[in-house]
Amino acid sequence: MAKRDCYEVLGISRDATEKEVKKAYKRLAMKYHPDRTSGNDELEVKFKEVKEAYEILNDSQKKAAYDQYGHDGVNQQGRGGFDNSDFGDQFGDIFGDIFGGGRRGGGGQRPQQGSDLRYNMELTLEEAVKGISKEIQIPTQVHCEQCNGSGAKKGTEAKTCGTCYGQGQVQMRQGFFAVNQTCPTCRGQGKIISDPCHKCHGHGRYERSKSMSVKIPAGVDTGDRIRLSGEGEAGEHGGPAGDLYVQMNVLPHHVFERDGNNLHCEVPISFTEAALGSEIEVPTLDGRVKLKIPAETQTGRVFRMRNKGVKSVRSHATGDLMCKVMVETPVKLSSKQRDLLKEFETLCSSSSTKHKPKSEGFLTSIKTFFDDLSS
């Protein structure tokens, strides 16, 4: 005896929602339940028919098989020791990757979190060291307030897709194989919007440039980033927004070079300042400070100035300023200056005192090198 159509048994349409299926089943189950029908065989048969129809339409996979092949599609799943649902579980991931489908249950208009965004922010060294608040503009997807993210025109609503019945996927069968594909009618959305919102054109979101103020803490460096929760793209179908990551890039400075929390700079000094000693002014991020240069200072010597560097954004420890002095060679000399320097050089050469420690050390090393080669 041919079985009745499941939708006809429950008295519902083929595009009925899950809620409508359950409601129809409860009503008929109460009506034909054996406890209330006093052993009436005919009504007991109807109760079993209602129960079987509900078990099929309430299971997304059985429902998909029934919608395409009727009762034969459902019955084939348990024949010959081969459970088609298990087979789909084993191979669903593979075929899903190939055909763009997924595993059982389909897609449908489920809330999805929006994408994260990244903004590359350029900072001067002074801004990075001292901290600053900056206004930025982010092109992003925002929720459509006119349709409240539904995509349907105000006063209307999306309807369940008649091809996939809200699953977002359809099942293609060939022999033993069952492959899920994205529904071609609703494109995996599970619903059809017949009257789309004019502002977002049915997408539930639209692109807008968003202005916001970002507070940059003192001490950030290139590669650091700030996470602003919920400031990314709006989610689809009412899903939560993603996050915004502000990536720091500190620009090169014309005076200082940064190394972690320390700052480095080169300070030129004259020949006489290096030889006789002096007190010079050096720059810091807080202004000029005095640095004492001892007599007989050699070029390239580094002086450490404590706590004149960068305050760490993590440990709050302050780095140092490393001042490297560079002795300048005089240029564009007058005749008198040349004569004085020649006289000075003669005096240094005729003196028994060693005035050139590096040169004399270098010459000694060269002599040792060549002596070793000839031995």
Lowest-pLDDT choice from 61-70, 193-202, 347-356: 347-356
Helix axes 41-57, 18-32, angle to 10 degrees: 160
Q: CA of 358: how far to CAs of 84, 216, 295, 371, in Å? A: 87, 48, 16, 20
Lowest-pLDDT choice from 24-33, 127-136, 241-250, 326-335: 24-33
Residue 262 and residue 310 in contact, taking contact as beta carbons nearer than 8 Å = yes
pLDDT per residue as tens digits for the range 37-75: 666 778 888 888 888 888 888 888 888 888 877 777 676
**Three-state SS for 118?**
strand
Rounded CA Rg of the chain: 41
User: Which one, of 245, 214, 215, lies nearest residue 229 by Cα?
Assistant: 245
Is the pLDDT assigned to residue 363 strictly greater than 50? Answer: yes
Confidence of residue 78 (pLDDT cuts 50, 70, 90): very low
Measured in residues, the chain has a length of: 375
Lowest-pLDDT choice from 38-52, 98-112, 260-274: 98-112
Show the DSSP H helices in 33-150 as ranges. Answer: 34-37, 41-57, 60-75, 84-99, 125-130
pTM: 0.54
**Cβ neighbourhood burial of 107 (10 Å; 0-12, 13-18, 19+):** buried
pLDDT, average across residues 104-133: 81
The larger pLDDT score, comparing residue 322 to residue 72, is at 322
Domains and CATH numbers, the chain: 6-99 (1.10.287.110), 257-327 (2.60.260.20), 335-374 (no CATH)
**Cβ neighbourhood burial of 108 (10 Å; 0-12, 13-18, 19+):** buried
Predicted local distance difference test score (pLDDT) of residue 39: 65
Q: What is the DSSP annotation of 157-210?
A: --EE-TTTTTSSEEEEEETTEEEEEE-TTTTTSSEE-SSB-TTTTTSSEEEEEE
**Three-state SS for 302?**
strand
Predicted local distance difference test score (pLDDT) of residue 375: 63
What's the mean pLDDT when you consider all of the chain?
Answer: 81
Residues 6+ apart with CB under 8 A from 83: 77
Confidence of residue 352 (pLDDT cuts 50, 70, 90): low
**Three-state SS for 327?**
strand
Residues 6+ apart with CB under 8 A from 6: 52, 53, 56, 57, 66
Give the best-scoring range by mean pLDDT among 131-145, 198-212, 231-245. 131-145
Is the pLDDT assigned to residue 6 strictly greater than 80? Answer: yes
